[in-house]
Structure 1
Amino acid sequence: MGSVDGLISGMSTSSVISGLMQVEAAPQNALKAKITTQQKVVTAYQGINTKMKGLLDAAKALTDPTAWKGGVATSSSDAATATTTASSSTQSGSLSFRVNKLASSHAVVFGTPVDATTDTIMSDPSFVIDVNGVSKTVNVTDKTLSGVVDAINKTPDLGVKATAFQVSPGKYTMQLTSTTTGTQSKFEFPNGNSSPFTALGSISPVSEGADAELAVGDSATPLIVTSSTNTFKDLMGGLTVTATKKQAETDPPVTVTVARDTEGIAAKVQAMVDAANTALSEIGTQTKNKSGAVAGGPLSGNSIMSGVTSSVLNTVSGGTAAGTSFKDIGIELTRNGTLTFDKTKFIAALEADPEKTQALFADTAQTDVTLKTGLADRMTAVADKATQTNTGTLSRLITSGNDAITDLNHRVDDWDVRLQARQATLQKQFGAMETALGKLKNQGSWLSGQLASLG
Structure 2
Amino acid sequence: MTEPTQYISGLISSLNWDEVIDKLIEVRKRQLVNPLEKNKEALNEKLSLWKSLSEKLSSLRNSAWDFYMGYAFQNFKVLLNAQGIDPQSVIEVSTSRFVEEGAYELEILGLAQADVWTSKVFSSEGQPLGLEGLLRINGLEIQISSEDTLQTIRDKINTLGDAFKASIIKVREGEFVLLLRGEKTGEANALNLEDPQGLFEFQNLIRAQDALLRVNGLTVQRPSNTINDLFKGLTIQLKRALPGTTLFLEIKKDTESLIQKIEDFVKGYNEIVSFFREQFSYQEGTIKPLMGDVTLRGIKSTLTSLILQKVDLPEGFNALTFIGISLQKDGTLTFEKEVFLEKLSSEPENTTSLLQKVSTNLKEYLDKLTTPFAGLLNLKTGLLERQIERINEQIDRQQYLIEKEKERLRQQFLALEEALAQLKSLSDWLSRQIDISFKNSK
Which among 142, 163, 166 is matched to residue 162 of structure 1? 166
- Contact kept in structure 2, 1:4 and 1:430, CA below 8 Å: no
Q: CA deviation at 1:97?
A: 5.4
Corresponding residue SS for 1:143 = coil
Cα 1:451–1:360 change in 2 (3 A) is same
Cα 1:436–1:242 change in 2 (3 A) is closer
Provide Cα deviations, 1:262-281, integer angstroms capped at 9, x if missing partner: 22222222222222223333
Which among 420, 436, 443 is matched to residue 426 of structure 2? 443
Check if 1:277 corresponds to 2:270. yes
Q: CA deviation at 1:403?
A: 0.3
CA distance in 2: counterparts of 1:414 and 1:139, whole angstroms = 87
Q: CA deviation at 1:214?
A: 3.7
In structure 2, the partner of 1:101 is 110
- Contact kept in structure 2, 1:121 and 1:143, CA below 8 Å: yes
CA distance in 2: counterparts of 1:136 and 1:86, whole angstroms = 47
**What one-letter code is carried by the residue in structure 2 that aligns with 1:241?**
I
**What one-letter code is carried by the residue in structure 2 that aligns with 1:58?**
S
Q: CA deviation at 1:405?
A: 0.9
Which among 111, 125, 137 is matched to residue 129 of structure 1? 137
CA distance in 2: counterparts of 1:157 and 1:302, whole angstroms = 70
Q: CA deviation at 1:110?
A: 2.0
In structure 2, the partner of 1:384 is 367
Check if 1:231 corresponds to 2:226. yes
**What one-letter code is carried by the residue in structure 1 that aligns with 2:295?**
I
In structure 2, the partner of 1:337 is 331
CA distance in 1: counterparts of 2:242 and 2:29, whole angstroms = 90
In structure 2, the partner of 1:328 is 322
Cα 1:25–1:81 change in 2 (3 A) is closer
Provide Cα deviations, 1:56-108, integer angstroms capped at 9, x if missing partner: 11111111134323322334544554432113xx3223345554432111111
Cα 1:383–1:121 change in 2 (3 A) is farther
The number of residue pairs the alignment matches comes to: 424
- Contact kept in structure 2, 1:212 and 1:230, CA below 8 Å: yes
Corresponding residue SS for 1:86 = coil
In structure 1, the partner of 2:9 is 5
Check if 1:44 corresponds to 2:27. no
Matches within 5 A, 1:222-371: 222=218, 225-246=220-241, 248=243, 251=244, 254-285=247-278, 287=279, 289=281, 291=283, 297-322=288-313, 324-362=318-356
Q: CA deviation at 1:333?
A: 2.1
CA distance in 1: counterparts of 2:284 and 2:198, whole angstroms = 96
CA distance in 2: counterparts of 1:167 and 1:448, whole angstroms = 122
Q: CA deviation at 1:419?
A: 0.9
CA distance in 1: counterparts of 2:327 and 2:353, whole angstroms = 20
Q: CA deviation at 1:399?
A: 0.4
Q: CA deviation at 1:345?
A: 2.6
| Consecutive unaligned residues in structure 1, runs of 5 or more | 363-373
Cα 1:317–1:149 change in 2 (3 A) is same
Q: CA deviation at 1:300?
A: 3.6
Cα 1:113–1:7 change in 2 (3 A) is closer
Check if 1:423 corresponds to 2:414. no
In structure 2, the partner of 1:194 is 195
Q: CA deviation at 1:313?
A: 2.9
| RMSD after superposition | 3.2
Corresponding residue SS for 1:187 = coil
- Contact kept in structure 2, 1:102 and 1:243, CA below 8 Å: yes
> What is the percent sequence identity of the aligned residues?
22
Cα 1:435–1:254 change in 2 (3 A) is closer
CA distance in 1: counterparts of 2:303 and 2:186, whole angstroms = 56
- Contact kept in structure 1, 2:325 and 2:336, CA below 8 Å: yes
Corresponding residue SS for 2:33 = helix
**TM-score normalised to structure 2 length:** 0.84
Provide Cα deviations, 1:422-451, integer angstroms capped at 9, x if missing partner: 112111221222222223333333333444
Provide Cα deviations, 1:226-259, integer angstroms capped at 9, x if missing partner: 32212221422212233444454xx376553322
Cα 1:138–1:157 change in 2 (3 A) is farther
Cα 1:67–1:195 change in 2 (3 A) is farther
**TM-score normalised to structure 1 length:** 0.82
- Contact kept in structure 2, 1:93 and 1:257, CA below 8 Å: yes
- Contact kept in structure 1, 2:129 and 2:146, CA below 8 Å: no
Q: CA deviation at 1:412?
A: 0.9
